[in-house]
Amino acid sequence: MSKTSKIINEDKLLKKALEVGSKMAKMQGYELFNQSSSAQIKTKALYLFLVEVRQITPLPDDKLDGKNIKKRLALWIHSALPDNDPLK
């Protein structure tokens, strides 16, 4: 997948990343966010957690915005899903 291409199902992948990532955090004893948190807070919290546990490479400071964080999370879960998953 090229770096500039649009990710197919990016919204669904992001939703899946939030679900899987929050379960990972809970298993390690962290509560990243509550259900009433905004989508922006949830994505940023998950991104920071995954960087901390070295699951993803941090973005450069000049690219640390909502759009790039969402794309990074979608790419992370896309690579973690099995090949037969419908989101791939």
In a domain, 4, yes or no: no
pLDDT at 25: 94
State how far the Cα of 24 lies from the Cα of 85, in Å rounded to an integer: 19
What is the extent of the structural domain holding 74?
15-80
Dump pLDDT digits (tens) for 1-37. Answer: 545 567 789 999 999 999 999 999 999 999 888 888 8
pTM of the model: 0.86
Is the backbone of residue 54 left (phi > 0), alpha (psi -120 to 50) or beta?
Answer: left
For helices 66-80 and 39-52, the axis angle rounded to 10 degrees is 60
Q: What are the tokens at 53?
A: 């546990």
47 found inside a domain: yes
In contact, 88 and 78? CB cutoff 8 Å: yes
Per-residue pLDDT reduced to its tens digit, 44-71: 999 999 999 999 999 999 999 999 999 9
Q: How many domains does the chain have?
A: 1
Within a domain: 2:
no
Which pair of tokens denotes residue 66? 């909502």
Give the C-alpha separation, 32 to 22, whole Å: 7
